[in-house]
């Protein structure tokens, strides 16, 4: 048993770090196989202040934004995809999305979709039982019409009431009737479902009913936003936390009162290519926030449907983010690009391979010019 884990009662497993409250995760002895899919889409020339505030000179633009999907494979053979990334034909999306003038200013490339990558490696769409949207934004929904009717579409709470009927019946809906036609659309109920439970501080849904894969209620960014927690090993337990758009950049979550910037950051172990010691980034942080326990950024108003809800969600997520046996990967986390092995490789051995350590603080690379100018 590792130093940050302690046994709980017969029905629960407590994961602890020295400086945070206990994190309660239901016990389980079944794992799922997680494979991170590089959907090949990229966005450049996206202004930093479109996603985050306050501005940080001279960081005018976000680093290149990828879009990850996750193939989840249960021992029963059930295959699910968490997030579908962008559609190759994103300009054919519902008009409320495709006619957004900002698309003309951004450099958007989407040569493939998640399903293309799967099929190139002999995983046909017919094998995918469940397609799970973390939320309904255009860069996460892909093109579900490319999946057969046997593929269920899983959405978060409040989705149907807020967004259906879809386009063209409802002209202002951001989703299309073709996304749903002929298939079951299942809206997760985190309160009344027989599989409703609790994971850490999050209302959760035990997707397979055996503790191997949970959907998490993570509101704030969009109506019905969900995260997911996959059990990747047992004895000891490790997990991958799929964050969706819980965060668009590490500087929206870190540091926190549970995770402080390390004093020594040099060396490949942290994935940093900078001569600046941790104190240099800490001085920059103090100038921006007045605290060493506050993230560098807040989300802009355009990225928040419920500001209070998002703040609570991130506070809960920070506790999980501080656990050594949980690796948080959000949908657009560019820091994993040069570290993780992508589909068809498995991501289950992430802890053994040190991926969390190498990505936890590597977002600080984006601040090198800002530190030099500070």
Q: Which helix (H) or strand (E) holds 320?
A: helix 307-321
Residue 339 in this model has a pLDDT that exceeds 70: yes
- Mean pLDDT, residues 17-40 taken together: 90
pLDDT digits (tens, 9 = 90+) for 127-174: 999 999 999 999 999 999 999 999 999 999 999 999 999 999 999 999
Residue pLDDT, tens place only, 109-120: 999 999 999 999
Lowest mean pLDDT among 4-8, 18-22, 49-53, 281-285: 4-8
CATH fourth-level superfamily of 5-373: Ribonuclease Z/Hydroxyacylglutathione hydrolase-like (3.60.15.10)
| Residue ranges covered by each domain of the chain | 5-373
Residue 343 near residue 121, CB atoms below 8 Å: yes
Q: Is the per-residue pLDDT at 195 higher than 60? A: yes
pLDDT in tens, 341-355: 999 999 999 999 999
Residue ranges with strand state E in the chain: 5-7, 12-15, 23-26, 33-44, 52-53, 65-73, 79-82, 107-109, 128-132, 152-155, 185-187, 196-199, 202-206, 213-217, 226-233, 238-242, 298-299, 326-329
Q: Contact 215/207 with Cβ under 8 angstroms? A: yes
Please give the structure tokens belonging to residue 223. 């109506």
Using DSSP's 3-state secondary structure scheme, residue 53 falls into: strand
Does residue 148 sit in helix, strand or coil?
coil
The pLDDT, as a whole number, for residue 341 is 98
The model's pTM is 0.94
The pLDDT tens digits of the residues spanning 73-84 come to 999 999 999 999
């Amino acid at each position: 048993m590792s130093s940050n884990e302690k046994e709980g009662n017969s029905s629960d497993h407590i994961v602890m770090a020295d400086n945070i409250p206990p994190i309660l995760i239901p016990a389980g002895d079944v794992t799922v196989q997680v494979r991170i899919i590089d959907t090949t889409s990229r966005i450049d020339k996206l202004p930093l202040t479109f996603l985050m505030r306050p501005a940080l000179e001279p960081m005018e633009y976000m680093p290149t934004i990828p879009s990850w999907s996750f193939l989840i494979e249960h021992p029963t053979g059930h295959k699910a995809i968490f997030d579908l990334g962008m559609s190759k034909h994103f300009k054919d999306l519902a008009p409320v999305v495709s006619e957004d003038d900002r698309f003309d200013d951004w450099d958007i490339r989407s040569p493939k979709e998640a399903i293309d990558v799967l099929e190139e490696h002999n995983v046909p769409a017919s094998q995918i039982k469940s397609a799970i949207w973390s939320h309904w934004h255009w860069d996460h929904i892909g093109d579900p019409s490319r999946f057969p009717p046997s593929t269920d579409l899983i959405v978060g709470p409040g989705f149907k009431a807020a967004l259906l009927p879809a386009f063209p019946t409802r002209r202002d809906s951001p989703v299309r009737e073709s996304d749903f036609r002929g298939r079951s659309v299942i809206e997760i109920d985190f309160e009344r479902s027989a599989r409703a439970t609790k994971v850490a501080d999050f209302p959760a849904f035990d997707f397979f009913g055996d503790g191997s894969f949970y959907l998490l209620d993570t509101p704030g960014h969009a109506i019905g936003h969900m995260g997911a927690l996959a059990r990747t090993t047992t004895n000891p337990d490790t997990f991958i936390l799929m964050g969706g758009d819980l965060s668009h950049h590490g500087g929206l979550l870190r540091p926190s009162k549970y995770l402080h910037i390390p004093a020594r950051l040099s060396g490949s172990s942290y994935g940093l290519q900078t001569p600046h010691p941790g104190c240099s980034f800490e001085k920059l942080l103090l100038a921006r926030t007045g605290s060493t326990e506050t993230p560098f950024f807040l989300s802009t108003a355009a990225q928040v449907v419920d500001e209070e809800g998002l703040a609570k969600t991130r506070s809960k997520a920070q506790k999980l983010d501080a656990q050594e046996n949980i690796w948080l990967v959000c949908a657009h986390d560019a820091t994993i690009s040069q570290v993780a092995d992508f589909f068809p490789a498995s991501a289950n051995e992430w802890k053994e391979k040190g991926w969390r350590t190498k990505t936890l603080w590597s977002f600080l690379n984006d601040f090198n010019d800002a530190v030099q100018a500070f």
